[in-house]
Structures are given as structure tokens and as C-alpha cells.
Structure 1
Amino acid sequence: MIQNLRLYSGLTMFAYVLTHLLNHAAGIVSPELMETVGDFTTEVWQFPPLEILLLVSLVTHFLLACGRLTGRRSLRLRNSEWAQMILGLCIPFLLFRHIIATRIIELGFGVSSDFERVLLDLAVFIPFQGILQAITVIVVWTHGCIGIHFWLRVKPFYPKWRGTLGTFAILIPTMSLAGYGAAAAEIIRRAEEGGRKYVFGVLEAADVNQAAIDFYENALIPASIFTIALALAPFGVRQIRQTIDRAKRGPMLSLPNGRFVRVPPGATVLEALRDAGIPMASVCGGHGRCTTCRLHCGSGTDQLAAPGEIEAAALKSIQAPRGMRLACQIRPQNDLAIAPLMPPNATARDGRRPGGLSGSERQVVSIFIDLRDSTRLGELKMPYDVLFILNQFFAEMTEALRATGGYYAQFTGDGLMALYGHDSEDTENTILQAFEGAAEMLRRIEGLNEHLKSELPHKLRIGIGMHMGKAIVGEMGPPGRENISAIGDTINTAARLEAQTKGHGVPLVISKTLFDHGPIPLPENAVLHEVALRGKDQSVAYYALDAMPDLTQTKR
């Protein structure tokens, strides 16, 4: 609820700023066009319900932002987060003069705030304020754009539109400042040519009076002090809170590497880890939207509070298994064992992966593919020629997987490991896709032989081993280079079955399990083999096939 209030109040103000800047851009033509365009942009916001909404949004957004800053136990923030926070705290100080000189004296003293009068103030009477106003445009717009970036970066469509939105983010303030500068230059020219007659004519038409001028001058110092106090108050409150917290003993986090981290009372796990200098992914800035700060919680999990509305929705969206929580949302009151499940450089795209893929048992079909006679190929061809052929081979195998719903899980020199069903619960469809993938690989090898006929000393051949069963599927590999793969007896068995293709002299060795549970009928001439594979105590039943089964005759 609070996050939504902060978001929607910010979007309301951003809409106002956007219309205001578009209004400024009309100044490229003339101040009069600014006034005309203003009837359809800024003037709309003076409709009482909208003006009240804008004022409430301003107060709400600022209070919630200050409350978030006050509640932070750690100020170890990313540069973009620091920029957004500092720019936001500067906005009241930069804006108050302009607000007093326009809307407040308009409501309190009947002074018109038409663009010609305002530009006369900013360009002729108080040029310093004119420069400050240009700086304010940049600060307010940048603050808003960073906030929108934080909001959108977890959305799937954002990477595609980021460049376009970035272009508009630069173009709009540039046009606004150009219009503001052009209109100000025109007012200066008119003042120089018309002299006192022009200046007093504008002031008289705007009903500028001494009471309004006195009010503005008398309000400057108190308003300056007040806005500076507003900016500094969250830091002061936060410091007092931290001083009180130091007197309390917070719970302890234990990490897999044996390190322990003290959690300040009321802090989130994300704040505690960052304060301890432990890198932790958090693309959305700790708002519970990206799920990149996901953790596996061990001992102490039962004493955690149940997920709130935001965390529950995020965990549901990634089908999180039991024990997974978000570091930015949990505030432990007791000692807790945790294990971060994503690298510190995880992206928004990583956060959209199903939670179970961080390490869970799944029913999968594992396929091992090996290129035959690759050693002989290396003896007969130059290294770069071999590299070219291998690249063609892997490209074709990868495309076969992509076309049939498989996942390229592991590179094995002159072969690869593929997975089917790592993100599905439909066993029959998974098996069918795996058979289709194997058939597509065999077809593509034939096509590759034809395409590279002049380059090959002999025809390329592959051996394919297929098996189905339970495996631990998750992100594996060195830090920062993880990829989805699998481990377990099912994977080892598939690898051993692929090795059997050499002994039988066939391209396919498929475990009996796949035919028992899948929709593919067993070929009539298939012979069942049951042997103890290398490294295994129990025997495995399989079929050695010299051609793919008929996939058009699936069982109904």
C-alpha cells in the first residue's frame, strides 16, 4: 500500500512536470504561444480537484520518501539511488521561490501569473532566480526519470523500449530549456526596446501590488530555513534511531561461508548485508518487485513473520519453493541461516526466472549429444577449420533445441547436454518434445553434411543418449557466470547411455523409461538391453536404435 502511494503520487507529479515542460517548449516560438498552450497544459492543473490531487501527491510523496530514508539502517546505496535521493531532497529548496512568486501570490493577492509577467521577473528583475529555475527543471526531471527507471526496469518490455524512452527523457527537458531561454531572451529584448513603459505595462496588467512584493520578500528567509530543515531532518531522525538501536542486541544472520552478520533491530536482511559490505542483488532497490534478492532460509525460518502482500505476490510470480524469501522484505527478530540464491550482478531478467530454478528437484529429460570422430577431424583439418566446423555444429544443435523447447545446459568440448521439462510439469509433452529435439538434431546433421561437403574429410555423425528422471535443476557455475544446469543420477545415466551408442554402432540409445511414460510407440524391431553402466551398481534398461521412432504415431 505504501509503495503504491509513493509510486502513484510520484507519477501524478511527473505528469504535471511533463505538461509544464511541454508548455515551456512552446517558448521557442513566442511567449504568447506559451500562454496559449498553457490553457491546455498547466492551466488544467488549476482545476480545484486536480490542484488538490497535485498538492496531496506532493506532500504524500515527500513524506513517504523521507520516511523511507529515516527507516534505512544502511546508506550503502548505488550511485543512482543516491542521485535520486539527493535530487529529491533538493527540490523543495529549489522550488519554493517559484511557487511563492506564482501560485501563492496569485491566490493570496490576485497577481496574475501569466508567462510574460513571470518571465519578466526571471529574466529582468531577478536573473539569479531565472538561472535557478533552469537548474530546477533539470533536477526535478532527472529525479522523476530515475524513479520511473527504477519502476520500469523490472518490467519485461522495458529493455526493448529503454532506448526510446531515454531519447524522450533527454529531448523533452532540452526542448523545454530551449523554449524557456528563447522566451526569456524575447522578454529581455522587449524590455530594452520598450523601457519603463513596457515593464510597468506588464506589471500593471498582472495586478502586481506592493503587498504581494512585501510578502514574497518576507517569506524568503523563513521558507529557505524550512526547506533546508526538511532536507536535513530525515538524516537527523535516522541518526537518533541508530543511536537507540546500537543499545539493543539484534539477531544474527549466518551465511554459508561461515560469516555472521548482526541485524540492527527492525532492519531488513538486505540492509544488514549491505551495511556489512556484502554485495547483494537488488535491481528494484528493495521494493519487493524484482526478486533478485531471493534467499534460501534455513534454521530460524519458522520464526519469521509470514510474507506480506508485496512479498507474497512476488514469490508467487516466480513459483518460489518453500524456504525462499526476499532479503528486502524480511525483518528477522531471531537468528536466521540464509544463503543468497543469485549473484550480486543479477539482472531484472534473472529475477523473472522461476524460483525453483535456484536449486530444486524436478522431473526432466536429459539428453547428451556427442560428435563422433572429432579427434580424427582434428588430425585431418587445420585448427581454425575445425573451429569453424564445430561452431556450425553447435549452432545447428542449439537451433534444434530452440525449435523444440529444449534448453542448452552444458558444453562438453565436442558435445553438449540438453534439458527438457525443467520448467514444465507435463511429462508426456516433455518426452514428446525431447524426441522431436533428437529427430531435429539428426536432420540438421544431415543438412550440415550436405552444406559442408567440400570441407569435411568424412561425414559428421552424432551419438544421442536420452533418459528421464528426477534431477536437481538450478543455477550452477562460477560466480557471475552461472547458468541453468542439472545434477543427479538421471544426468549421469544419460551420459552413460550416450557412450553406449559407440558400442552398438547406432546414433540413439534411449532408456526404457521414456517409452514407458511417453506418447512415443516403441519400434517393432527394438531390442531391450539391460546392463550395469560404467560407474553404476544398478542395471539400466534401454533400447539402441539406428533410426528415430515414428513420431507421427503418438499414443493417444
Structure 2
Amino acid sequence: MLERNLRLGSALVVALFVILHLLNHSLGLIGLPAMEAMQLALAPIWHSWPMLVLLYGALLTHFLLAFVAFCRRTTWNMPWWQIAQYLLGLSIPLLLIPHIVGARLLPALLPSVEGGYGWALASMGNTEGLMVKQTLLLLIVWSHLAVGLHYWLRVRQGYQRSKLLWQLLALLLPILALLGFYRAVADVGSVDLSARWVRVATGHEGAVAWANHTSLWLENLFWGLLLGVVLFHGVRLYRRTKRTSIQLHHPQRGVLKVVPGMTLLELLRQHRIPHSAVCGGRGRCTTCRVRVRDGFPNLPPRSAAEHRVLESIGAGEDVRLACQLRVTDSLSIEPLLKPGSGLHQMNRPGGVAGFEKSVVVLFADLRGSTALGEQRLPYDVVFILNQFFAELAQALEKTRGHYAQFNGDGLMALYGIEGDLARACRDGLRGAMAMQQGLDSLNQRLEAELREPLQMGVGVHCGNAIVGTMGPPASPILSAVGDTVNSAARLEQACKTLGKTLVISRELAQMAGLGLDEKWIHTLPVRGRQQEVQVFALSPEDELWSGLERKLASYD
């Protein structure tokens, strides 16, 4: 996290300087005095010792962190834009070092050198090849900066909304800066640079030699560091490949040989396996996430940054970011987003972000809805159904239930997502009874319009289920799947067979601690289960219904 913040902070400091510098260049379209005026206005800021230390410290920090990143890379297979970013960044020092020495160091060492744009523009306009080098430096620096800013900001919604404006500004600024630069050089015109150089360098030959030596030394240092990184990377990769016995099981590519210490994303790219990574593998999005099937207990723990990102989408513990997970042991994975997934998929939940939990499942269904549709106009049916679901929703709200699914003329609800199961069982029973009370109230209001009262069936069961966000990625809901859900649905269907309003499982009644008389137990065969299920079946007019109401009231 510290390294990432240093890289970002140093990049933003340099970016601020570059943007202001290019704006200053753009004023050359107005004239050299306008350029000088802006430079004089900024000089107290950028030429102060604190800002000089900050600027050159940021430049050096960003440069050294780039080499650290190079050393850590275990593969050079990466998206084209990252390759371009690295190549652009590596070419900057070779063009920037002579520029800094000529524009900053020499004026500081030679008292008679004129400060400001006049000296620099005269030197660039009258030295063969220097205009071309400065143009290349401006374009390369800006391209490196623009690509970096784009892939840093692209995961932010505000940037996405105004991306066209930012891209337009990114295109116009370097064009205006180059036009202003060329116009200012033309205004300075031809200068006898040799005579001017003899005049300012006389008596300061030692300082000039030291500046030239410093420039050459810095360039050699850069080449030495680059060569050292390449050799280090090659030797490390060779040694790790020779001794590895770690394997990765990929669902499409089978078994892959793993170099220890590589991130999962680097490994996939090394084997040229397409894998989503919108932010470029920097841990700023979740599009590279995978589910670990085998080998999960041996994984290194999530970093704070990885945990924060995955926690934001409710991903389970077995979901990891491929760009942050360093492979240290054999494992099997399942990518959760298809290759090429874009920003619109970034915040989708982590697959089915489910967890196993003991819950109460309630199914409620309106009886005779087909006949109702035959007897009434479609809009009338919609009106009645809306009133019906309004009563069910109110009952759920009163009894701490959670709406989970809608299926035309019925719904599924969950109890106990939070809290203990015994209370959830009692709340589920209260919810079922409240639904019937709401239906009775609806029948009274619609008595003049209905040929016969509306009826419903409710099935309630408890047990283990997988609870999590499910459904279409664009509109997931919190629901549940598993045998408990299937059994609850079968109990609701059994209301027709038994001619009752409510069917509850014996397990639920026992868990609720109601002590119901077992003489009321029915034994039902349930499709999909080998064993029969023992249930209590009841309707509002039954003795068991009123007894259940009294027992539930005793817990209030």
C-alpha cells in the first residue's frame, strides 16, 4: 500500500508540473512575453527549495519504483498498453537528462547565462537536432502521463461520465504546446550560439566540464540499472523454473506449470490465457477475480487492499484477485468473469457470493389465479394481484422477513438471515399468519367484486441453504438455493392436496419450541426426497391454528 501511494503521489506531482509546463508552452501562440510572464508567476513556487526537492524527489521516486516493479515482474506477457507505457517510460530519461542539465543545471552553474525561455529557445532553435529531441520528449512524456492517468481514473464513475471531455483535453494540450513552442522559437530567430556560448563559458570551463560529466554519468547509470534489471529477471526466472513443482488447474487449459512467486495474473499471461483485468493488474478493480476451488487453505492471506476491494462487492473468502494473489502452492481456479469483461461488469457480485446458513424458507401462492384471469379483464387482475402482494409485503415487513423471489402469483421469503434460527422459525410462522390476515382484509375490501374469496397456500420449512446474491448480473437479489428451499416449495404445493392454508414441517415446529401436539402430524412424500416428511397442516378455522397463535403470543 505504501509503495502504491508513493508511486501514485510522485506521478501526480510530476503530472502537475508537466501540465503547467505545457500550458506555459501554449502561451507561445500569444508571444514570448506571455510565456515569460507565466514562468515568472510560477517561479516562486517551482524554484523554491521545498518545491525543487518535492519535484525532483518525486521524479527520482517514480523512476526507482519503476525499476522495483521491473524487478518484481515474473513475465513480460502483458496488454499492449502496458508494454507501451513501459517503453515510453524507459525512453524518457535518455531525453530528459540532457534537458535538465541544459535548462536547469547550466544556468545555475554559469552566472552569465540568461534565465527564462530566451536562452532555452535560442539553444533549441539553433542547435541541430535539438528541436526534434524536444518534440519527441514532449510527446513521449505526455503520452506516458496520459496513458497512466487514463488507467488510474477509468475505474471511477465520474471519469467515465466525462471521458470524452478529458480525451479532448488530452489531445489538444500537447498540440497547443507544440504550436506555441514552435512559434516562440521562430520569434527568437537565428542566434550566433557559438559566440554567445564562448562569452558565458569563459572562466567557467570546470563547471561546464562537470555538467557534461554529470549528464554522461546519469545516462550510464540508467543503462546500468536497466541492464541489471534484465539480468536479474532472467537469472531469477531460470532458477525458479528449474526447481518448480507447483501446478495450476485451469478449467479451459488444464494443468499449467507455475513459477513460484508469480501473481496468478502474470502466470495466466505467461501462458497466453486471456483474462480480464480492467485496471491493468493494479488491484483497483475486481474484473480479474477468480474462485479458488482446490488449494484454498494454503493460500497467502489477502492484503489489506485486496480485502477492501473484494469486501466492497460481497465476495466470499474463496474469491481472490488474480493480480494480487501470488501462487506459492498448487491450486485449482475458476475465473468469474469472461475474458474481455469491461467496466460495466466490475462491480458485479463475486459469482454467486453465497454462504451456507440455517434459514427459514416460506413460499406463498395465490390459489385460483388462472380462473381469476378468465373471469376478469387483464387490468383488473393486475390490480387484484398488486393488492395481494402489498398485503404479503406488509406481513413480511412486520415479521422481519426478507423478500427473495417473485413468481407471478406467489413469492418466496427468507427468515433468519440475521439472528438465531429459533426466533426465525417463530417469525416465519407469524409471517404466514399475518399474510392470511392480510388476505382476509383484502377479501373484505373486494367482497363486492369477487365471485368467491381469494385463497392462498403457504409452506414453511427450515434448514441449511446457500444464501447469497443471485440472478441476472445486472439485477441480482439476495436469495437462497438448496434442498431446504425445494422442500419448502413442496410443502406449499401440498396445501392443495391436504386442503389447508398452511403446511409447516415438524423440524420447524420443533426448532421454534412450540410443543405442538403430534396428533396433528401428517406424513407426506416429497418429490426429490427418498424419505417422507412429517408436517403440520392447518387453516384459520382449525383448533391447531388458534393454538399456534397463543403459543406464538407467549414469546412476544
Q: TM-score range by the shorter chain?
A: 0.5 to 0.7
Equivalent residue letter for 1:105: L
Task: State the partner residue of 2:465.
Answer: 471
Task: State the partner residue of 2:116.
Answer: 114
Q: Distance in 1 between matches of 2:251 and 2:95?
A: 48
Equivalent residue letter for 1:143: V
Task: State the partner residue of 2:526.
Answer: 534
Task: State the partner residue of 1:88.
Answer: 89
The Cα of 1:124 is off from its aligned counterpart by: 6.6
Q: Distance in 1 between matches of 2:437 and 2:32?
A: 72
Equivalent residue letter for 2:79: R
Distance change >3 Å, CA 541–CA 461, structure 1 → 2: closer
The answer to whether residue 490 in structure 2 is matched with residue 496 in structure 1 is yes
Q: Distance in 2 between matches of 1:438 and 1:128?
A: 84
Q: Distance in 1 between matches of 2:41 and 2:431?
A: 60
TM-score, normalized by length of structure 1? 0.68
Post-superposition Cα deviations, 1:54-102, rounded to whole Å, max 9, x if no partner, equal 2232222222223323322233323443343333333324433432332
Q: Is there any run of 5+ residues in structure 2 with no aligned partner, and where?
A: 446-451, 515-519, 542-548
Is the Cα–Cα contact under 8 Å of residues 296 and 324 in structure 1 kept in the other structure? yes
Distance change >3 Å, CA 114–CA 136, structure 1 → 2: farther
Q: Distance in 1 between matches of 2:63 and 2:228?
A: 12
Is the Cα–Cα contact under 8 Å of residues 254 and 261 in structure 1 kept in the other structure? yes
Equivalent of 1:145, from 143, 149, 154? 149
Is the Cα–Cα contact under 8 Å of residues 505 and 536 in structure 2 kept in the other structure? yes
Q: Distance in 2 between matches of 1:124 and 1:440?
A: 90
Task: State the partner residue of 1:253.
Answer: 248
Is the Cα–Cα contact under 8 Å of residues 21 and 173 in structure 1 kept in the other structure? no
Distance change >3 Å, CA 112–CA 465, structure 1 → 2: farther
Distance change >3 Å, CA 71–CA 430, structure 1 → 2: farther
Task: State the partner residue of 1:263.
Answer: 258
Equivalent of 2:160, from 150, 159, 163? 163
Distance change >3 Å, CA 165–CA 257, structure 1 → 2: closer
Task: Tell me the matched-pair count.
Answer: 519
Secondary structure (helix, strand or coil) at the match of 1:358 reads coil
Equivalent of 1:180, from 167, 177, 182? 177
Q: Distance in 2 between matches of 1:490 and 1:101?
A: 77
Is the Cα–Cα contact under 8 Å of residues 266 and 331 in structure 1 kept in the other structure? yes
Larger radius of gyration: 2
Q: Distance in 1 between matches of 2:500 and 2:38?
A: 77
TM-score, normalized by length of structure 2? 0.68
Distance change >3 Å, CA 429–CA 466, structure 1 → 2: closer
Is the Cα–Cα contact under 8 Å of residues 296 and 341 in structure 1 kept in the other structure? yes
Is the Cα–Cα contact under 8 Å of residues 245 and 257 in structure 2 kept in the other structure? yes
Task: State the partner residue of 1:136.
Answer: 140
Secondary structure (helix, strand or coil) at the match of 1:5 reads helix
Distance change >3 Å, CA 496–CA 164, structure 1 → 2: same
Is the Cα–Cα contact under 8 Å of residues 92 and 137 in structure 2 kept in the other structure? no
Map 1:355-366 to 2 at 5 A.
Answer: 358-366=353-361
The Cα of 1:264 is off from its aligned counterpart by: 0.9
Post-superposition Cα deviations, 1:269-298, rounded to whole Å, max 9, x if no partner, equal 333233334444545444445455555556
Is the Cα–Cα contact under 8 Å of residues 316 and 354 in structure 2 kept in the other structure? no
Task: State the partner residue of 1:273.
Answer: 268
Secondary structure (helix, strand or coil) at the match of 2:243 reads coil
Tell me how large the CA RMSD over aligned residues is: 5.9
Distance change >3 Å, CA 127–CA 24, structure 1 → 2: closer
The Cα of 1:50 is off from its aligned counterpart by: 2.6
Task: State the partner residue of 1:453.
Answer: none
Q: Distance in 1 between matches of 2:245 and 2:230?
A: 22
Q: Distance in 2 between matches of 1:233 and 1:263?
A: 25
Distance change >3 Å, CA 124–CA 502, structure 1 → 2: farther
Q: Distance in 2 between matches of 1:175 and 1:433?
A: 64
Distance change >3 Å, CA 319–CA 101, structure 1 → 2: same
Distance change >3 Å, CA 284–CA 368, structure 1 → 2: farther
Larger deviation: 347-356 or 292-301? 347-356
Once the two structures are aligned, what percentage of the paired residues are identical? 30
Q: Distance in 2 between matches of 1:310 and 1:487?
A: 31
Equivalent of 2:481, from 466, 483, 487? 487
Q: Distance in 1 between matches of 2:425 and 2:44?
A: 60
Task: State the partner residue of 2:544.
Answer: none
Is the Cα–Cα contact under 8 Å of residues 122 and 128 in structure 1 kept in the other structure? no
The answer to whether residue 10 in structure 2 is matched with residue 9 in structure 1 is yes
Secondary structure (helix, strand or coil) at the match of 1:540 reads strand
The Cα of 1:263 is off from its aligned counterpart by: 1.1
Secondary structure (helix, strand or coil) at the match of 1:261 reads strand
Is the Cα–Cα contact under 8 Å of residues 410 and 416 in structure 1 kept in the other structure? yes
Secondary structure (helix, strand or coil) at the match of 2:248 reads strand
Q: Distance in 2 between matches of 1:112 and 1:506?
A: 100
Q: Distance in 2 between matches of 1:218 and 1:242?
A: 36
The answer to whether residue 46 in structure 2 is matched with residue 45 in structure 1 is yes
Is the Cα–Cα contact under 8 Å of residues 283 and 347 in structure 1 kept in the other structure? yes
Equivalent of 1:242, from 237, 241, 248? 237
Equivalent residue letter for 1:142: A
Q: Distance in 2 between matches of 1:434 and 1:272?
A: 53
The Cα of 1:332 is off from its aligned counterpart by: 4.3
The Cα of 1:555 is off from its aligned counterpart by: 7.4
Larger deviation: 502-511 or 139-148? 502-511
The Cα of 1:214 is off from its aligned counterpart by: 8.8
Is the Cα–Cα contact under 8 Å of residues 363 and 492 in structure 2 kept in the other structure? yes
The Cα of 1:251 is off from its aligned counterpart by: 1.5
Q: Distance in 1 between matches of 2:468 and 2:432?
A: 22
The Cα of 1:410 is off from its aligned counterpart by: 6.4
The Cα of 1:471 is off from its aligned counterpart by: 0.7
